[in-house]
Chains A and B, each alone.
Chain A
Amino acid sequence: MNGFFDIPSDLQHSWAGLIGVHLREALLPVAAGLLLALPLALLCNRFRWLYPPVLGVTTVLYAVPSLAFFVVLIDWTGQTELTVMIPLALYSLVVLVPAIADGVRSVPDETLSAATAMGFGTVRRYLQVQLPIAAPAVIAGLRVATASSISLVSVGALIGNQGALGNLMAAAQKYDRPELAANAVLTTAVLAVVCDAALVALRRVLTPWMPRSGRKRTAAPREELLTKGAAR
């Protein structure tokens, strides 16, 4: 009863089950954040005056610790997965809005003029010209959001076993079994690495015109985005 993969029964999940829950709790919010961020970023670019206040609000939201978010939300959504996912979706939104807005804005004016001259409407131009060109920046934002989301799900363990692999960490402490904590940490790390690799692969598929050795290019924007998301 103290093997690396012997999960205490009170977690009500197998190791694989915990992974499934963890991915669901981490990735759904990122997807939700992306869906919200796309139109929001479009609005920010359409109405420039909107961008500074949006950035300001998101910066403040990002500064609120996840645990505090969870606790406050318990009153509305109870001790459920939703309570964990809402703040994570907000954090994703915070990272993604500037990533998409800046990425879209970095599309050269000549390209936009050319598209307009060819008769593209605003929405069509956004979807078919600006977003594809901004894809690398958007993916870079998604990488940051996904990594932080996967890490933060664990904190959900503190509000009544809603932390998936985080619950395993809490259980490790409860039963004084460090190997369970090590298992949770490593599994989470592997999940993060795998998801990151998947996003990099996605970028290659989406942007076949970019050089394949994109590591050097994406490393800098990643930090930049984090900075922009967290600190403006």
Chain B
Amino acid sequence: MNVLSFVQAFFSDSAHWQGYDGIPSRLLEHVQYSLLALAIAAAIGLPVGLLTGHTGRGGNAIAVVANAARALPSFGLLVLAVLLIGFGLLPVMIPLVVLAVPPVLVTTYEAVRAVDPAPVDAARGMGMRESRVLFRVEVPVALPLILSGLRTAALQIVSTATIAAYVSLGGLGRYIIDGLYQRNYEKVVGGATLVAVLSLITLALFWGVGRLVVSPGVRRR
């Protein structure tokens, strides 16, 4: 009945800490899915966002693509992908990547666009090549916003990766789906708690990375 007692029961059951269905292995699976999806989304979104942001061209196309991608329901995409491709990691990656590309892409584009044009002009005027202007002047200033896009994407992925369990893969969604079918709420709540904790850890990680890689001159403190 009480959510907290479910949480307590779930985590104090030593059976939940061992084996292929134990918390460590499910957590690891979840992190693996999430990292893979984030890496693919970043590999697509970052270069395209940086390039379009730097040149200022293609902003409309990006908005259209991002809005279209945002409108696609993750659950439906997953079912469709499984029906068309069959079971496996790929059909899970499709909805996660579709989910994560828009925030990465749009935020990166906007972040680079939003960089004060004066230093960029100054950089060109002192003879920097375009690639150097992008990576030495624009990116360091745009970094906080770019990171926030990646963070949004990462949080959505972590939360949505639970659907992998629906198509017989692992991850923390396993507890939620299994709990649903077994009417075992302890498992559902336990799984949900783990996902929430993972989200908060993700947040903390991004905060830490931000402290590490963003110049104090940009952070302004």
Contacts and interface: CB of A to CB of B under 8 A. Distances in A.
Contact, chains A and B (beta carbon distance below 8 A): yes
Interface of A: 59-60, 62-69, 71-72, 75, 147, 150-152, 154-155, 157-159, 163, 165-166, 169-170, 172-173, 176-178, 181-182, 184-185, 188-193, 196, 215-216, 219-220, 222-224, 226-227, 230-232
Interface of B: 1, 3, 59-60, 63, 66-68, 70-77, 79-80, 82-84, 103, 106-107, 110, 114, 148-149, 151-152, 155-156, 158-160, 162-163, 166, 173, 176-177, 179-180, 185, 188-189, 191-192, 195-196, 199-200, 203, 206
- Which DSSP category, helix, strand, loop or mixed, fits chain B's interface? helix
B71 A196 contact: yes
Given A169-B73, A178-B83, 4 more contacts: A150-B71, A185-B80, A223-B149, A227-B151
Contact of B79 (A75, A159, A172, A222): A172
Nearest to B189: A72
Given A64-B196, A67-B173, A158-B166, A176 B74 contact: no
Given A68-B188, A181-B79, A230-B156, A193 B71 contact: yes
Nearest to B148: A227
6 contacts: A62-B199, A64-B196, A151-B73, A155-B75, A220-B106, A223-B106
Contact of B159 (A63, A166, A227): A63
Contacts of A223: 103, 106-107, 110, 148-149, 152
A86 B79 CA distance: 24
A226 B82 CA distance: 29
